[in-house]
């Protein structure tokens, strides 16, 4: 019998209100924190059998990793607990669509809206990287859009702590085939540059309305990341935005910009008349020395160009053909 119904109380504190998403590993519910009297999102792991202990530990590690990172464009984690065999995370509730839902609803986005999203997500990734964390699963369904136009990165379930152990086993490749980096597809050691590649794929999709490396199956799509160039971007994409996305999509990780380089390149005044966009620092050409915009500048950019994001109902679970999980060992 399914216990997860509206009104169910977790740990005598979190009362479930409405299921808003579901996937292969967990359900996400809107709930009321009856202690602090606020709406929260509760991610509840599906009951497991043979792998229950390992999955619970991975879930706990996700909470610990996410709690280490504080940034206005990262969904905040408030709590982790277990209740009658159910492990769950309590997070900030975002009353808005994911980027995946927005793309499905409106198609490609205007360049300046994409600029805002990329600056915000690059800032979030930069903060994660500063804390030694590689996200490894940046994709539109892992980015929520708040009603005031802020992109919020979520789901650190397969993140890697550069200072410790991965949340996945040795030799495993976890991620979503549409967005994985070439080195991720090949099962190689990952660096923060892998997240920047995924950011480039996401930006390309936002500007075109189509997944640039979709070849119909996860394996063919993963190989396309390794071997094939992306389709051309629309002619109306500003030069600086074009350059940043192109640089992020470099096949060689060392040729990609850092997160701070992306913010620096895109957070200036936009416009079609921009003749000479600033060079995007790469991971091996003085990227660390590149000036980093302060986060208030990112907030100002959001206020200037952020659209009025209308609420879209959350759809169902991720389609299984989107995911790639293989053993490379």
Closest of 77, 97, 96 to residue 88, by C-alpha:
77
Show the tokens assigned to 121.
Answer: 């997500």
Phi, psi of 63 (to 5 degrees): -60, -45
In DSSP terms, 174 is beta-bridged to: 325
Structure-token pair, residue 34: 């009856």
Which of these, 144, 145, 125, 127, lies nearest to 136 by C-alpha position?
A: 125
From the list 33, 137, 236, 288, the catalytic residue is 137
**DSSP of 102-146:** HHHHH-SPPHHHHHHHHHHHHHHHHHHHHTTEE-----GGGEEE-
How far is residue 196's CA from residue 254's CA, in Å, rounded to a whole number?
Answer: 11
How distant, in Å, are the alpha carbons of 239, 248, 325 from that of 111? 11, 17, 33
Contacts of 79 (CB under 8 A, 6+ apart): 63, 89, 90
Residue 188 buriedness (CB in 10 A; 0-12 / 13-18 / 19+)? middle
Contact 60, 159 (CB under 8 A): no
Closest by Cα among 203, 56, 74 to 131: 74
* Tokens found for residue 22: 């579901």
**Phi and psi at residue 109, to the nearest 5°:** -105, 155
Any catalytic annotation for residue 252? no
- Kindly list the catalytic residues: 137
């Amino acid at each position: 019998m399914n216990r997860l119904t509206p009104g169910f109380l977790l740990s005598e504190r979190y009362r479930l209100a409405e299921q808003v998403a579901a996937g292969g590993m967990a359900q996400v519910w809107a709930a009321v924190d009856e202690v602090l009297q606020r709406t929260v999102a509760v991610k509840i792991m599906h009951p497991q059998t043979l792998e229950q202990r390992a999955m619970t530990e991975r879930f706990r590690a996700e909470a610990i990793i996410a709690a280490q990172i504080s940034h206005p464009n990262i969904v905040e984690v408030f709590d982790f607990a277990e209740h009658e065999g159910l492990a769950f995370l309590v997070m900030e509730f975002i009353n808005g669509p994911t980027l995946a839902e927005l793309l499905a609803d409106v198609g490609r986005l205007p360049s300046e809206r994409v600029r805002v999203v990329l600056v915000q997500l690059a800032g979030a990734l930069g903060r994660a990287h500063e804390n030694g964390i590689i996200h490894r699963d940046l994709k539109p369904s892992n980015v929520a859009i708040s009603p005031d136009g802020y992109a919020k990165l979520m789901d650190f379930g397969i993140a890697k702590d550069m200072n410790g152990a991965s949340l996945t086993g040795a030799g495993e490749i976890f991620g979503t085939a549409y967005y994985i980096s070439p080195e991720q597809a090949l099962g190689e050691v990952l660096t923060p540059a892998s997240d920047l590649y995924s950011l480039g794929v996401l930006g390309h999709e936002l500007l075109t309305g189509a997944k640039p490396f979709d070849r119909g199956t996860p394996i063919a799509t993963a190989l396309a990341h390794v071997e094939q160039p992306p389709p051309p971007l629309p002619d109306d994409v500003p030069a600086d935005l074009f350059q940043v996305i192109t640089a992020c999509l470099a096949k060689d990780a060392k040729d990609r910009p850092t997160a701070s380089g992306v913010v620096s390149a895109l957070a200036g005044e936009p416009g079609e008349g921009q003749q000479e966009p600033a060079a995007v620092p790469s991971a091996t050409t003085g990227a660390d020395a590149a000036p980093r915009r302060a986060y208030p500048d990112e907030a100002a950019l959001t206020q200037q160009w952020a659209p009025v994001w209308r609420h879209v109902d959350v759809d169902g679970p991720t389609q299984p053909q989107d995911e790639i999980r293989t053993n490379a060992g």
